[in-house]
Structure 1
Amino acid sequence: MSMPPTLLRPRDGDAVRAALRDLAALGEVPILFGGPVYDDTLLLTEFVGTRTGNLRGLAVQPSSGLGGATMVAGRPMSVADYRHAVSITHDYDGPVLSEGIRAVLAVPVLVDGRTRAVLYGAHRSSAPFGGRTADRMVAVARSLGEELRIRDEVDRRMRLHETHTTTGGVAAGAEQIREVHAELRHLAAASPSPLQEQLRAMADRLAQALTGTTADTASLTSRELDVLAQVALGCTNSEAAQRLSLKPETVKAYLRSAAGKLGASTRYESVSKARRAGLLP
């Protein structure tokens, strides 16, 4: 099922494109393409290394072709010679063969057991994919699935906030947004780049959505904001340190630094001034 766009959520196709570029940088697969699944239909929107535009916009139905079979099975599937493969249907032979594709590996991107996108790797020669290449594609697909899961959770919390707002629960909704903001910065602290930067950017947009301001997040470092976000929830220095995998002394140092930049004398004044500046929700 497709997810409705929100103020915070970028296009899922953009995340698919970034994943394909990460795979392309490895230099192991000459053709890479894929796209998100909308209402049980896979739409091919992102391409690296293709020579024609014949695959662009192709709508792949469940169980049809290699991608459709992968989408339903929820596991990677491949064919060493697409033209003569008997394990798949050949609904899309025209656009696939016109691209000169022979060997294909399709990897599903799963979120809570449901296929939300499919990543393809392909060669113009008939040869099976090596285990290392397949493992890397699976790893990238898992990372993308986690990113989509986090986006879903942000959307769910935002919809909950909107419900609270329309029913008079503004304060409760704002507190939930603060919890999501702190959790995003917590996840970012434990995530690899570039997912770390994406999560922090989402947290910044969340703060701006609640405060209605465009903050200059460069005024504080990412780590200073990570710590302030935990303190804003009422965490002690020890609790913030545990959530962010830091030492309590390090948390104190970040708080002192943030307070100095904000012109605050206490941790609570730092949170208050950071909120007024649009740095925290």
Structure 2
Amino acid sequence: MPLLRPRDGDALRAELRRVAVLGDVPVMFGGEVHGDTLLITEYHGVRTGGLRGLAVRSNSGLGGASMVAGRPLAVADYRNASSITHDYDGPVLSEGIQSVLAVPVLVEGRARAMLYGAYRTGAPFGGRVADLVVEAAQRLGDELRIRDEVDRRLRLREAHLTTSGEVSAEQIREVHAELRLLAVSAPAALQDRLRALADTLSGSDGAAPDGPPLTPRELDVLAQVALGCTNSEAARRLSLKPETVKSYLRSAATKLGARTRYESVSKARRLRLIP
């Protein structure tokens, strides 16, 4: 795992706790998929140690079937369910679990993790609670996808450095702009981290030493303009209207004491707001 990447298990645990609180689900657990095996590592509301570290094989149990099918699966009476294998009855039944919902966390169509919700009664999963678990899996999938893309781009740059022995200022600017672009569509919890990584490339914390700080959007626009993008191109890349891009440029220019877009970029670079 790359040094700069947060622990994926922490994001998974946060989603489990969120669903448990919002949906009043007594038992939540899950883990990451490694090859064809799911390793249960995160828990909320468990009473025994039976589920801790449990390895679930593909097509085995409810979770293994959901992992292969790539869609949520549920049983309202786990002990007597005929639609699943019962390889893990010991740890599941020792928790007193009767009703279970398993939802895969998909990234590029492949299960990267699994989320489970469970009741100690025969109440079926459905409606709002099922929606909460599915939405949590979608959020986590989006976050893992963004993290993967950041890692991929950083690895490409590292490979380039290894082969060429140097990196140009333009390449640094491209990476900086790409990180800020990723932050635009990233989950809220990941946006600040992506922008902080971008700021490390410019050697700043996003604030001009002798003036008011530029907003994240102003820096996003300046980063695109610094690559030579027109207002229309910057707007398309940032999912903004061209008029909105102009507004951000005017605001940034005022704060920087600049008269043109190119002077804004020049002053922002001197202040180390962008590389």
The TM-score range, normalised by the shorter chain, is 0.7 to 0.9
Q: Distance in 2 between matches of 1:276 and 1:162?
A: 26
Aligned to 1:162: 158
Aligned to 1:138: 134
For structure 1, the 5+ residue unaligned runs are 189-194
Aligned to 1:174: 172
Q: Distance in 2 between matches of 1:270 and 1:20?
A: 45
1:257 aligns with 2:246: no
Q: Distance in 1 between matches of 2:163 and 2:79?
A: 58
2:5 to 6, 9, 20: 9
Q: Is the 8 A contact 1:185 1:226 kept in 2?
A: no
1:99 to 95, 100, 107: 95
1:198 aligns with 2:198: no
Q: Distance in 2 between matches of 1:25 and 1:231?
A: 44
1:217 to 206, 213, 232: 206
Q: Is the 8 A contact 1:33 1:47 kept in 2?
A: yes
C-alpha deviation, 1:73, in angstroms: 1.6
Aligned to 1:227: 221
Q: Distance in 1 between matches of 2:273 and 2:12?
A: 29
Q: Distance in 2 between matches of 1:278 and 1:78?
A: 53
* Bigger Cα displacement from structure 2, 138-147 vs 197-206: 197-206
C-alpha deviation, 1:161, in angstroms: 0.6
Alignment of 1:234-245 (within 5 A): 234-245=228-239
* Bigger Cα displacement from structure 2, 215-224 vs 267-276: 267-276
Q: Look up the SS of the partner of 2:228 in the other structure.
A: coil
Q: 1:165 to 1:269 in 2, by over 3 A?
A: farther
Aligned to 1:111: 107
* Bigger Cα displacement from structure 2, 16-25 vs 271-280: 271-280
Q: 1:109 to 1:276 in 2, by over 3 A?
A: farther
Q: Distance in 2 between matches of 1:197 and 1:229?
A: 22
Aligned to 2:36: 40
**Deviations 1:55-90, CA, capped at 9 Å, x for gaps:** 222222222221112112211111111122222222
Q: Give TM-score scaled by structure 2 length.
A: 0.85
Pair member with larger Rg? 2
Q: Distance in 1 between matches of 2:266 and 2:155?
A: 26
Q: Cα RMSD (Å) of the superposition?
A: 2.5
**Deviations 1:168-199, CA, capped at 9 Å, x for gaps:** 162375354134224213324xxxxxx13413
Percent identity, please: 66
Q: Distance in 2 between matches of 1:34 and 1:276?
A: 48
1:84 aligns with 2:80: yes
Q: Look up the SS of the partner of 1:217 in the other structure.
A: coil
Q: Look up the SS of the partner of 1:26 in the other structure.
A: helix
Aligned to 1:191: none
1:129 aligns with 2:125: yes
Q: Give TM-score scaled by structure 1 length.
A: 0.83
C-alpha deviation, 1:117, in angstroms: 0.5
Q: Look up the SS of the partner of 2:111 in the other structure.
A: strand
Q: Is the 8 A contact 2:224 2:234 kept in 1?
A: yes
Q: 1:254 to 1:170 in 2, by over 3 A?
A: same
Q: Distance in 1 between matches of 2:21 and 2:150?
A: 29
